[in-house]
Structure 1
Amino acid sequence: MSLANKITIVRIGMIPLFLLAFQQYPSWIAEQVGFLNYINHNGLYWAVGIFVFASATDKLDGYIARKYNQITNLGKLLDPLADKLLVSAALIMMVQQKMIPSWIAVVIIGREVMVSGIRVLAAAKGTALAADKHGKFKLVLQVVAIIAVLLGNFPFSYFTKFPIDLTIMIMAVVLTVYSGYKYMKNNYRKLQLEL
């Protein structure tokens, strides 16, 4: 297995650690288990660190795959899957913790499921539908928005009461919808022919 694919698998493996750190545990359990008590008080900081590190590995595995000619079919499958799983896990946990409204998670995850489904159907017919620049920029904005919300508008809260974190998240939702539309529009003829 190539180094790039190993890094991608590590990124997927970090998702349960992110969930473990982000989760709030019932006080009656946490009071008896020191580790869970620690997570209840400091887990969000660890969750942010894990999310930032996992997101950064996305660029690293892509760079290694291109530089050392390690682009594989497994990597083409796992890399976008890892991104979608990480973002989806973060959004679901943020809804659970009431950091964002549920419709934001539904729109973003729904778009990812739709595009992934189309790619799978097209691949089954022998057509590869690549991500475009809108999709790549969408992922970057989603990651920035998630980090901003997890940090509770820090450091912007020192300068303004305006919810910059949620504003970035709304921008990410808009770009997510737009990139999905562009993806469908740009691949319409291929989809007509192949599906």
Structure 2
Amino acid sequence: MNLPNKITLGRIFLVPFIIVFLVVGEKVPNYTAGAIFLAAVLTDWLDGQIARNTRQVTTLGKLLDPIADKLLISTALIALVQVGRAPAWMVVLIVGRELAITGLRTIAASQSVIIHASDFGKYKMLTEVAAVSFLILDWPPEWGFIAIPSLGVLCLWGAIALSIVSGIDYFLKFWKVIDLS
């Protein structure tokens, strides 16, 4: 197993720690969970850079990396629902899309087809990272005299829109390259 794939596995290993520190850790803002989450996000960037720059891109890496991303984002969002910082219906939409795309990826992989993430999917991931980061850190703090949604919830709205657009884009790519017979 090469270094980029080990880094991806490291990202998966960090997920339970984010949940533990978020659910049973200190109250808002939760700097420990935020730091672990951002470290995990940085490993996503790092493993990609190393894989491309050293020509260590593998089929395992192409399949494992998006699973690690989905696991990281989905579990963090579910934990944020548990602590009351994310609306459950928004998280259900995002996680549902992630599961549907994972299913499509599995079908494609069974036919030795890898469908690469589109720019929409990359923007979706960035928006999700921003949403989760702001929600973990509970930033900006609520002001008792102004009822405005948090920046994290606003980013979740963007993530939902990009989830829908990127999901449609992924499905159309899938439909073009898959043999359904």
Distance 1:149 1:46, change over 3 A: same
Name 2:56's counterpart in structure 1: 70
Alignment of 1:110-125 (within 5 A): 110-125=96-111
Rounded to whole Å, the distance in 1 between the matches of 2:121 and 2:51 is 20
Q: CA RMSD in A?
A: 2.0
Q: If you compute each CA radius of gyration, which structure gives the higher value, 1 or 2?
A: 1
Identity %: 38
Distance 1:72-1:156 versus aligned 2 partners, 3 A rule: farther
Q: Which residue of 2 aligns with 1:94?
A: 80
Unaligned runs of 5+ in 1: 25-38
Shift in alpha-carbon separation, 1:183–1:17, aligned structure 2, 3 A: same
TM-score by length of 2: 0.89
What is the match of residue 173 of structure 2?
186
Number of residue-to-residue matches in the alignment: 178
Counterpart of 1:44 in structure 2 is 30
> Gapped runs of 5+ residues in structure 2?
none
Name the structure 2 match of 1:36: none
2:17 is matched by which residue type in structure 1? L
For 1:14, the equivalent position in structure 2 comes to 14
Structure 2 distance, partners of 1:66, 1:121, is 26
| Structure 2: distance between partners of 1:153 and 1:83 | 23
Determine which structure has greater relative contact order: mean sequence separation of CA pairs < 8 Å that are 6+ residues apart, divided by chain length: 2
TM-score by length of 1: 0.83
1:106 Cα deviation from its structure 2 partner: 0.8
Structure 2 distance, partners of 1:190, 1:58, is: 27
1:67-124, Cα deviation, whole Å (9 max, x unpaired): 0111112211211111010001101101111111111111111101111101111221
CA distance in 1, matches of 2:67, 2:37: 15
